[in-house]
Structure 1
């Protein structure tokens, strides 16, 4: 098992490009991670990484060994999956990610219930609105709003989520209620947007009497954190586009009000992404099935 631990540590250091980040991800100390890499290098008789005070780069041998190491870990996962199927007691750790709104509303509340049903499966949940790389970040599954661009992933659609434009009554009192989506393209209104590195230009797809219109919008603020975006809207700083489930509580209390109800946004797909493998890990399949059933039951209420 020590050699396998060394390989797993090498893979995470390679993927994250940082010894400390890999150690945190594996819940070990940086010293232990460094020791495991050194042991692996001694065993192989090669240098896997070039280390400087600031950078950690894989050598040619490191790049070659990474490809084989992935196959080793996948083979072990498949063997464990076979055993889990036989014993009918899946065990191990799952690394799962979700956007903040989806995670807070649906995933996080159901994780303890899942663990009660399957006490041998541990869940490591990461919530982030930024774009994620499942392979590079070692994720078993990632819930997603929108249409993924990576064709190497499997996708399981869960639901089409209605969306709306909304703002606070304070904002409407100050700037007026827009009567047409064309007004969003002018300085008459501020649109608050979710943006992360590599995100495309902002276009809100609205359903108009003339058909779908993609409206290019802008505003004084943008962030990669969906909850901050909602807070800005609550404080009267602009109009936001949100899935209804994320702002339902604020709509019910009157802290946010719908905008341009006659030109609503297109719904957005909620789905779960996972890696292509010859055989899906039983514990991942159980978790995804559990969450799909939970989300489907609660998104309609």
Structure 2
């Protein structure tokens, strides 16, 4: 298997553009990753990468070999998937991604049960609120809030998640509750914004009497971590827009209170994303079919 290990490492180095990043992805040391590339180059008698202290770029031979290497690995994956399907014993490594709030509250608690039922499947859960490239980052299935921009991905809808505008009692006591959505854009109130490179939503869509309107809210605080916004809201720093399931406990306790309830945020779609090829893998199909009803059931428990 060492030759195939070398090929897999090469593909990840090529896709990630970094020896250290590929090593982390493969759960090996940078020295092992470098050694595998060197072994592959010795075997092929070509240079696959131009290396400097700061950059690593594929050579012409590296570009050619990458195309063939992907076909080789895809053929192996398909063969293994076919065997797993016949034996009805899905096995192997599954890479799953999710936004921070979704992953921490809904997905991570279910992983131990999934592992108990399917002990031959090892699962790697990556949590991030940033935009992910499923193909480049080797993700088998990704939970997603919103509408994906990549039309080539397959999507399985899980639910429409209710959202709420809310703030801490201390903030409302000091600043008062907003009386209209327009106050959110006029600087009358501080809004806590989720912003990160590639974020699809920089405005808050609210349901108004004459239809949905989008408000470019203002505020001194921003973060690319949704839980940081929750902490800031609890500390009385402003108003935040959150999926109800993320802050259900704080709403129940009164630590956060809904505002502008007559103009609520538009619900946001939660879905699972995957590529067509990934869905051919029995363990990926199994994970999607197993997770979907359980996440739906947990979401129903978190309602206003």
Quickly name the TM-score band, shorter chain normalised.
over 0.9
Residue 263 (structure 2) aligns with: 263
1:90 aligns with 2:65: no
Q: 60-69 or 208-217: which moved more?
A: 60-69
Residue 112 (structure 1) aligns with: 112
Residue 75 (structure 2) aligns with: 75
Q: Aligned to 1:277, what secondary structure does the other structure show?
A: helix
Q: Aligned to 1:192, what secondary structure does the other structure show?
A: strand
In 2, the alpha carbon distance for the partners of 1:217 and 1:48 equals 49
Residue 160 (structure 1) aligns with: 160
Residue 275 (structure 2) aligns with: 275
Q: Aligned to 2:157, what secondary structure does the other structure show?
A: strand
In 2, the alpha carbon distance for the partners of 1:278 and 1:202 equals 31
Alpha-carbon deviation of 1:200? 4.7
In 1, the alpha carbon distance for the partners of 2:218 and 2:44 equals 54
Alpha-carbon deviation of 1:218? 2.0
- Counting only pairs closer than 5 Å after superposition, residues 119-130 of structure 1 correspond to structure 2 as 119-130=119-130
Residue 169 (structure 2) aligns with: 169
Q: Aligned to 1:300, what secondary structure does the other structure show?
A: helix
Alpha-carbon deviation of 1:124? 0.3
CA contact (8 A) 2:279 2:285 kept: no
Alpha-carbon deviation of 1:60? 2.0
Alpha-carbon deviation of 1:14? 1.1
In 1, the alpha carbon distance for the partners of 2:200 and 2:97 equals 22
- Counting only pairs closer than 5 Å after superposition, residues 1-301 of structure 1 correspond to structure 2 as 1-200=1-200, 202-277=202-277, 280-301=280-301
Q: Aligned to 2:96, what secondary structure does the other structure show?
A: strand
* CA deviation string 1:210-241 (max 9, x = no partner): 21111111211111111111101110111111
In 2, the alpha carbon distance for the partners of 1:246 and 1:278 equals 29
In 2, the alpha carbon distance for the partners of 1:278 and 1:36 equals 26
In 1, the alpha carbon distance for the partners of 2:279 and 2:177 equals 53
Q: Aligned to 2:3, what secondary structure does the other structure show?
A: helix
CA contact (8 A) 2:191 2:239 kept: yes
Query: Residues 201 and 90 of structure 1: is their aligned pair in 2 closer, same or farther, counting only changes over 3 Å?
Result: closer
* CA deviation string 1:156-178 (max 9, x = no partner): 10000000100111111111100
Alpha-carbon deviation of 1:97? 0.4
Alpha-carbon deviation of 1:189? 0.6
CA contact (8 A) 1:202 1:218 kept: no
TM-score by length of 1: 0.97
Alpha-carbon deviation of 1:292? 0.4
Instruction: Give me the CA root mean square deviation.
Output: 1.2
Alpha-carbon deviation of 1:15? 1.4
Q: Aligned to 2:70, what secondary structure does the other structure show?
A: helix
Alpha-carbon deviation of 1:198? 2.5
Q: Aligned to 1:166, what secondary structure does the other structure show?
A: strand
In 1, the alpha carbon distance for the partners of 2:67 and 2:196 equals 30
In 1, the alpha carbon distance for the partners of 2:172 and 2:278 equals 54
In 2, the alpha carbon distance for the partners of 1:69 and 1:85 equals 24
Runs of 4+ residues over 3 Å off in structure 1 = none
Alpha-carbon deviation of 1:267? 0.4
